[in-house]
Amino acid sequence: MFPFTRRLLQLFVISLVPLFLTLGAARLLTTDGFLTFEYGKPSFPPDLYGFTPEQRFILASTNIHYVRAHLPNDELVKQYLNGTQVFNEREVAHMADVRNVFQIILRIWQASLILLLLLGVVFAKSGERTAFASAIKQGGVASSGIILTVGLLAIFAWNTWFELFHRLLFVPGSWLFSYTDSLIRLFPFQFWFDATITLATISFVGGLVLALCGWHVQRQGLRFPEKALVSR
């Protein structure tokens, strides 16, 4: 492999690692397991407007499975409690937007995983295993640095971070709801703050683990010292 080609592919690997880690963490959070963990916290605020814990979990789980495309497009419209529709028109429209965004995120995560595996094969077949390990190491370090910055921003400037995040992904104002609306009752501020910190923690630790693994392979697997020196 030519040095220029090797470095270009390394930069591609480095850029893919943060996508793989952060979007993979987001995928892990859209599960009933995380919902159970979050709702089970003693500090998690109860619903003040009448949802029982069981109703709250079922409705929140329905939203999660809807977003993951496990449920039909009209599933949220069909949700009723005591003869009253649970989600209003604006809530249904916003969740459709969330579903579209999440499906894009899921495809990007899948593409990043496939590309990383293919690039790993390319490097291995070219006798450049240490070059790939070096790129994984650098990608892990970069991921941890980026996520640490984002996590600190979320902790110390939550309102600004939350608004910027939604402005980037959704139509302005489409994500603002009343405290009495079902979406806010199911997913209050505490849920999103905890989810953000959990995502940042998973991604940060994942970055460090990948960096350590890359460093170990680079250090122990120098079959071609002259190529390893170029890749550093």
Domain count, the chain: 1
pLDDT at 220: 76
Mean pLDDT by 10 residues, the chain (232 residues): 89 96 94 95 93 96 96 95 94 96 96 96 91 95 93 90 90 91 96 94 96 89 48 44
Structural domain range at position 65: 3-231
Q: Tokens 């593409």 — which residue?
A: 111
Cβ neighbours of residue 218 under 8 Å, at least 6 residues apart? 130, 133, 134, 137, 228, 232
d(CA 23, CA 50): 34
Q: In one letter, which amino acid is 102?
A: F
